[in-house]
Structure 1
């Protein structure tokens, strides 16, 4: 009996003996029960508005060591990162990055869209129920209420029981609001009337003291008064077309689109001129640095998130087009600004203690006349004239005027209330419209969204159309133009919005805590950014996510 008791006692004590012999295993077991997952102190998203992927390399020999080149050298670049929906525009792009989703799900179907049930136009962040904070202008009547899904920033707030701080910053309201999500501590954007950073009562009733202090320095006015000349001698800008050409638009008050751009003469009680200069990106990062300092971002063990959008590259691209000295100069200056911003993160949060990613909301096409002059097929599509002609023909056939409201987002938005009240046959109107559009020069495909499964077009394009179609906010017919063509009314500048690679191929570079060094050439998508950050942080991906974790990016 004593032998049996002795054996049983030995068996019972065996785990304790093993733990005593292996104290590391004991400690590991204990830590697994009590400690939180390792996370960076701060995540920073840098979205460069209208940055084509090739800008990482087009001016690389002129970039310094500490900006774009540092991110490529120390970080991980996904070289074949694509947008998988249309329309490729600012609001949808920022939302796609932070939701891991597409317009059909997250609901941001464009910068503006037509509400199909009423025929009324809706701006993506418009919210008349809130008030401007920080200005007497109406620029603050904005919120994320039209966003239907959560963002990765929302999910971080949820995962930490709202202890994480989340702040969005951009010149454009939509660039600050949509990435910050529904539950952000703050989103700030730029007010042309005052040159100040403002917000809305969705977030707060009064601006923090540090924001008031920043605004009181009148930094926007100081930048505008500097005028804009090239950073380096103008003859060194060999990647660009000569300064004075037919492809570039003039700023207000200019006689020619050439350097120097005398922004100091464009104040006149309005501070919007900064948007069309590299200084718009500079002041955005100045403000972001102040936010890091004064909000104490990354100063404790709870991960914070700063979402920054750099909008001026989009304004400059629209104004001057891809091959301009202005675009080249904007990226050379942005490279220096990013270098200083990364140095600030190193000094305040700590090198290796933060994670940063850089991407874009969309790319842009070359100016069609520039392409045509260089024997590459391209042309403007005069949607305004074609719309008028279409409505004229529809009225002859169906005896009602203005049955089509517009071609916004390359979609046909029908006047559904009029069609319903007049008891017209929508199917007949759609077929008439499709037949008419198929005869127009420059049109490659015209797709009825209700019958897209039977449409004769490549699967890759079909999937982008489906992903971008929201039944309540998108037009009933999708128009696809020939490569190099886009809808426009000016021979200068450029735009975006199509399925083509010049609009959909965007940069994606991760750097910092938890990130490997390297490159990847297999296809990835904009939607993969949010789930990759979710995996890095060990939190739930956004609730409308359709992307996948890019496993190659993350350290094991």
Structure 2
């Protein structure tokens, strides 16, 4: 019997002895790289006695990559999150936007929607990871440990938690604004995780009814902040949430620092309930902080609101790190922490132009489509030519082209030329030219080719000019190939590292292979990145 047990123990696949007990990847949604330095004065110190700080603890005692970028367009939420744990690019993942045109079904497709399954905890459209065509680090870890490792994903956004956690994740939740609950789908489980169900039943998220989000810091902390052009109140803002439960109320909470507290409270409950980091095999938690994104869209990157939610983020990170330091055997050095972002953001156009004299503006997607329709009608005859435009890809009706016996490449070029007549559009590239490598040798060429998936991508890819955004009359957005959208932080911390600041160019698709190397598992199936060797222990150095 003893001999049999010994043989069984030898047969168990083993991960490296220095592998972390827990991987925690945190995506600060819309977290531009410059925030790490610009807002450092409002962050906690790296360490105070035995208490760990937040952002500065990571950036000053771990490894910080100062020239980290996303390597694709468009830089949208779904796309960015589909890269972080796959190490891939949209050309391989199939995630080419927050939505795209489904040619088989003849309708628009939201990035993670999947009506084959059912939502648990609400009535919204079910979601799954099936649109993601490659594996994640979590998927590879599940396979390497025969399913013994736990993989958990948490966000207000379905497209964030799902696309980071992957196909084989144990528990993935997101928020249903109509129900006011965190939900999941039968793709992942037939029941809601107990910690999410308990949180829903507590109605803790309703604690902010009629309450006001006010600055959490002294007025002097906001000296470098500027109110958004449409914000006429004082810099020491006061945004009051609705008094009645509704989707508007929940949207208001999520788009505030109060939402940040909600998501961290839920993450802490998940860690405690699932005992993450306390198992024989490593676990993974992926956490998206969506509130930063909603606040940034509404008030812009230079606003006191963005600074305030970043300060709250820092303090909640500190609390999380100290909790893990106590809960995980071996302490925080046995936790592999990565903090990054899914994209950055442009400044508010009217602020850029009116205050700083920078050419900036807003681009009309409908104007782009009209120009394309008019040009194709004029050249080839009346028809409904454009099926959809998702802020990056124009989808043309190929059945119309075929019915008129037209050359697809020529029609694409006519559409691209028409799109470039619209003010604010910088360039437009055809599907044929991208797939055949016939793009000028320009600095952002790779971003374009990495972003086009031959199966679900469009027929024309539109690139807006710098500081031109496709959004409403106020606020701002992201999606371009320019530095303010691609430049994001990559901060890492785990045992065996030598703290340092690294200035070489790296990409967000390098994170997955780094974690895979640390865990001793295979890279995800669509990985194109290289390990961030400065973050790895000496045994892995080049």
Scaled by the length of structure 2, what TM-score is found? Answer: 0.90
In the other structure, the counterpart of 1:297 is 276
CA shift at 1:235, angstroms?
Answer: 5.2
* Larger displacement relative to structure 2 (527-536 or 509-518): 509-518
**Deviations along 1:32-58, whole A, 9 cap, x unmatched?**
999642211111110110000001111
8 Å CA contact 2:88, 2:509 repeated in 1: yes
* CA distance, structure 1, for counterparts of residue 145 and residue 88 of structure 2: 22
1:527 is paired with a residue of what secondary structure?
A: helix
CA distance in 1, matches of 2:13, 2:159: 40
Partner of 1:11: none
Q: CA deviation at 1:392?
A: 2.8
**Where does residue 316 of structure 2 map in the other structure?**
337
1:397 has 2:379 as partner: yes
Structure 2 residue runs without a partner (length 5+): 1-8, 46-52
Tell me, in whole angstroms, the C-alpha distance in 2 between the residues paired with 1:299 and 1:225: 40
Secondary structure of 2:239's match?
coil
- List aligned pairs for 1:265-276, cutoff 5 A: 265=243, 267-268=245-246, 271-276=250-255
Q: 2:241 aligns with which of 257, 263, 270?
A: 263
1:447-486 to structure 2, matched below 5 A, reads: 447-452=429-434, 455=438, 457-486=440-469
Structure-2 residue corresponding to 1:58: 38
Q: 1:380 to 1:514 in 2, by over 3 A?
A: same
- 1:157/1:165 contact within 8 Å kept: yes
Deviation, 1:215, is 1.4
2:23 aligned residue: 43
Per mean C-alpha deviation after superposition, the further-off stretch among 445-454 and 38-47 is 445-454
Task: Rate the CA distance shift 1:305–1:35 in 2: closer, same or farther, 3 A.
Answer: closer
2:316 paired with 1:372: no
Change (3 A) 1:405 1:155: same
CA contact (8 A) 1:277 1:330 kept: yes
Distance apart, 1:180 and its partner CA: 0.9
Provide closer, same or farther for how the CA distance between residues 233 and 409 of structure 1 changes in structure 2, counting only shifts above 3 A: same
**How much has 1:428 moved relative to structure 2?**
3.5
TM-score of the pair, normalised by structure 1:
0.88
Matched residue, 2:87? 100
Given that 1:239 and 1:328 are in contact with CA atoms closer than 8 Å, whether structure 2 keeps it comes out as no
SS of 1:79's partner is strand
Structure number with greater Rg is: 1
Q: Partners of 1:405 and 1:36 in 2: how far apart?
A: 49
Q: Secondary structure at the match of 2:64?
A: strand
> Could you say what secondary structure the match of 1:509 adopts?
strand
Instruction: Summarize deviations over 1:17-75 as a string: whole Å, max 9, x none.
Output: xxxxxxxxxxxxx9999964221111111011000000111110111121101111221
Taking a change above 3 Å as real, the CA distance of residues 359 and 224 of structure 1, as seen in their structure-2 partners, is farther
Alpha-carbon distance between aligned partners in 1 of 2:12 and 2:241, rounded to the nearest angstrom: 60
Q: How many residues align?
A: 517
1:312 and 2:291 are equivalent in the alignment: yes
* Offset at residue 396 of structure 1 (A): 3.4
Between 1:339-348 and 1:209-218, the stretch displaced more is 209-218
Indicate conservation of the 8 Å contact 1:445/1:457, yes or no. no
Distance 1:322 1:482 in 2: 19
Aligned with residue 203 of structure 2, among 191, 198, 218: 218
Q: How does 1:394-473 map to 2 (within 5 A)?
A: 394-452=376-434, 455=438, 457-473=440-456
- 1:119 and 1:417 in contact (8 A); partners too: no
What does residue 348 of structure 1 align with?
Answer: 327
Unmatched 5+ stretches in structure 1: 1-29
Q: Is the 8 A contact 1:116 1:416 kept in 2?
A: no
Would you say the 8 A contact 2:219–2:236 is kept in 1?
no
CA displacement 1:103-127 (0-9 Å, x = unmatched): 0011111110113455421111100
